[in-house]
Structure 1
């Protein structure tokens, strides 16, 4: 750092590390900043060089305070599993640029943090929760887009919280698990009062709408056939909604509990 004089005329300022409490994303975060401090009046001033470091420190402190993996956590866990940034990006169905940003200070969402933990902190995919596949947000969008093509109408609508789209997705994942041995998207589901729904769907809505569909693994012919059959079985939103409420997966699961893929073999809807 270069020298700095007190703007109030007290002479040379002293270089110190200063703790600051900064409002950030709705909470107060404490960070350590390299700054010049006047020994006479106590005035503190940062520098252009320290500004970037402070921003990164804010991001890291925020992630620690709200329970998200830090950039250092991500690098350590990824390297511990012998994965490159490209390996992790491919496994998660996101771009390498996203991994780089999260490792260097960008703050991931809570749902993406869960996905990162799933890939970096578990030894195997939770088959009963995710259907033998790691979750892929871009693939969720791809499947919903395929449904819109098959149904010839929109199902991913603004402000509807995927009330009906979530049911089509539920049947796609469960049927794929039943017939093909694994789900289409790796999504986890929960038993909610209005039917089976994506777990933590509120956190996922914006991510799904903003996902890059071209990052998703292409759908196979068998998967497209399942989507087409579901669309023909339930051409109207209310039909798929009502059917989901008759499934043992929903009827026999407690509200708020995970809807496991073990129910796939007990689907009662006739889809063929």
Structure 2
């Protein structure tokens, strides 16, 4: 069974009846949820003195939620975190989201903590996520459930989302347009078609776990994640296509990628130039990744986290994928098989 150590903490061990160093581990487990058996990431505590594992009550509840979310994912349903994200788009409490939808006051709270929604309720929540105009329609329909001031605040919030989402959708379409000629699996896209949802999650992952992340460094991290995953699994992680440019491998439509919702870009002004700092805009749901994907992302983030932009650019310049391609040439993924080991 695959597992990894997340950290060590000082904890009151139930086996030793004293506080000492405990390892917090993550491993893949199986659980029976409704009509199926699902794999999920379980967090366990490990006592090295007694060579025994245990799960505190709070962690057990979190593990159960992970198992339910794994089931939801397998059935194409929104996870608890995705439901939180939807109401977070509009700044709603659990009760407010329920009221906006015309449901019972505690319905959303139950979905975020333990209950699994049916397909009908799931579809309605997805409509709120993808169509803010529908959210505005539902708010007006259930106006009597809100205080006047709060109704106006939520209405303003939804209108802001309508404006922002319109810009994001435009950028996503521009990304898709840039990849029209790569609509067949090949060595150029790593035998995977463009997956914008996965790209958004990967960018969000790096923004969340690497401090002082800037535009150029992010582009190198994307390439290393895709290249390392290709080397191990035979396909890219995202379907991005990379060009050989002076600062290393850069994905096609790299500017448009920065408009994806997982991140926000902050301009920082120095003496005579502008830097673009990449900041997380939302909590990343790790259930969007497979164990193999997380392993690659962890390895890339851990190795390059302290590299400055010039250092990671110089490092990439020494890869066979860069040395054996010319400026403006597409970098074939097959060259990633000769990716240097991180050391």
After TM superposition, the score normalised by the length of structure 2 is 0.40
* RCO comparison, higher one (Cα < 8 Å, 6+): 1
Task: Answer with 1 or 2: which has the greater Rg.
Answer: 1
After TM superposition, the score normalised by the length of structure 1 is 0.50
